Structure 1
Amino acid sequence: MRTAAWTVVGSLLLTGCEFNGWYDVPLPGGAASDGHAYHVTVDFRDVLDLVPQSAVKVDDVTVGAVEKVELDGWHARVRLRIADSVKLPGNAVADLRQTSMLGEKYVALSPPAGTRPVGRLRDGDRIPLSRSGRNPEVEEVLSALSALLNGGGVAQLKTITVELNKALGGREDRVRSLLKQLDTFLGGLDDQRAEIVRALKGVDRLAERLRKEKNTIALAVDTMPPALKVLADQRRDLTKMLTALSGLGRTGTRVVNASRADTVADLKKLRPVLQELNKAGDDLPDSLEILTTYPFPRNATDAVKGDYVNLKITADLDLADLYGNVTGKPGKGGKSPGPGTPRLPGVPTPAPLPSLPSLPSAPPLPSTPPLPSTPSVPSAPPTPSSGSSLLCPPVCTAAYGTGSGSRRLPPGTDTGLAELMLKGMLP
């Protein structure tokens, strides 16, 4: 009776102070409540039977306690008190664990696994649901094990084992070889992982391109049947064409084989010509450049200052010399201009040309039929008064000029050609 009275009195005394019930009484072995601490709130989907004054541990060392557990919507919110000496990153994670199979629950804080720690956990911070979790309960493990043993197919393990023994019995070497080849294959795939990824990305881009061109592809598919019908209708002609092409190939091969010796001989004969052209070097292009400025040298334009040049020409228009140059017969005095013929003053004597290398004789050309002879030009009819040609009286009389200085044309002169030459010289 006395004990009950003291219990009631103690309860009344405790009720009169700031006391929230037995949850404010620290548990044996818990963290010390004195000293400086900071508070952190953690959201859990399920706290099971976690109660206030439960331990808060870091690396299995008690660093604080649970102050309050409350419901916030469809999840639980737990307020933790942690000693100031505990330094945790700002992205720390919280897990609900159990000391043993039948032990108490506690909150374990730790840095994030596989992620770089960021910042520092401070007073008033909150750990969201994405960084909290819990371990499975013993009841959940036993329930899952019971489901596996009773209806999870464990009874079929014996059948599977027996059948595997039958399938592999006597084939251990083949299975071992298969496993080695499979290991090599998987190793090759692992080595080519980057290429495989690149190929898959290429296939993805191709699929995307095909998706964009879906209408065009559909139009092409709709257009293909008429085209295939045309090909089917022309199959006989295509076959005939291919057969004729095969015959053409055989004929071409036969022609090439027959003319091979002649082609090789022609190339051998062409070789000396090409060698001489090669020896000519830059002289041949330089000589071709002179053709564009003939009869002047190509540097003649350097001496011209302005857009015109004064040129003095002395022309000897002696008819006998002109006629002799045309017909190839001697001119005045019956002599052709020799090497000692005087040249114009101020004109340098050209240097002798270098001797050209002998070229191989060209193959004989086929004979051509002779050209028909050109009819001679008829002379003009004589005038009634003099009886000589109106165009060329001197030619008709076989002489030109008057007085003692008159000269006659050389014997054998073509009078028709002379008449044409003198036609423009008559008054």
Structure 2
Amino acid sequence: MSARGLRRAAVTALCATALVSSGCSLGPDDLPSVRGGIGDSYDVHLEFAGVMNLPNGADVMMDGLRIGEVSEVAVRSDTVRVTVRLGEDSRVPASTRAIIRQNTLLGDTYVALDHDAVGPAERFLRADDTIDVDRTSSPPQLEDTIAVLAYFVNGGSIQRIQDTMGRINAVLPVPGDTRRLAALVSTDLRDLSGGIGEIDRLLDGFDATAVAVNSRAETLGTLFSADTGYYWRRVAINIVSYISQILPSVGSVYEGGLWLVPMLNSLADTGGVLRGLWDSGPADAARIADFLRLTVLPFAAHPAITIRSVETGAGEQIIADVENLLRMLGAVR
């Protein structure tokens, strides 16, 4: 190899050594953020129990907007201090809660700032303010999440869910029956909604009754007092004593009164006939009144007979001869 080739090899080896040594000191945190800078900003500190794999440059989101990024993650004795750089025009309420989230299981982590409705007296975070660990939430470890998913997949949970759905589908009626059932239920619900007024009226009646009873509580209380109980007890004793005196005489009448049975049957028949006469009495009275008013009284006031036909034994009409005869006698007007 010539001297010129040796010099080229030495320069190449020197450049490779410099590149490797400089590359070993380059970390992911030294790379610039692909989202660009924040511009004018101020720093706020967040205390977490753990931050999983939160990198520098991670987004800080609030109300769905990116308002800053993580500038530093420092491990302390019992917490992890995360310093975030927020835009100068960002107004973060002092009661905000910080949560580390991921969009997907293996997605990028970011810091989410969650807060309640902002009141007029709400104070906002200033530079170097700190959100304590009591108001921050750390995400579960990725290994624990993957272990839970693996147990869920390999433990037969999916198969059990599939079997359960199969049993549910087996016991459910066919779609046509389901539609008819839904139609009946909807009809019942409409009828129920239409009768809400009646239910309200019933409840109002119960309420009015309860109010009336409550307003007369003192009067009702006297009905159950000791004096009232003594009164009703004496009444019961007197009634029982009278009945005990009457029962022997009633028994003697019962034993010796069999002869009364035919008479009572006759009285029952007579009562039935009288009841029939009583029921038909108004109609018969109306007929008699009509007969007297329309027939008897007019005849008594103007007695007359209308002869329409006079026949011989052979069937010949002699009404004209009879009329002439009666006229000569002065009986025809």
Could you tell me the TM-score, scaled by structure 1's length?
0.34
The answer to which structure, 1 or 2, has the higher relative contact order (CA under 8 A, 6+ apart) is 2
Could you tell me the TM-score, scaled by structure 2's length?
0.42
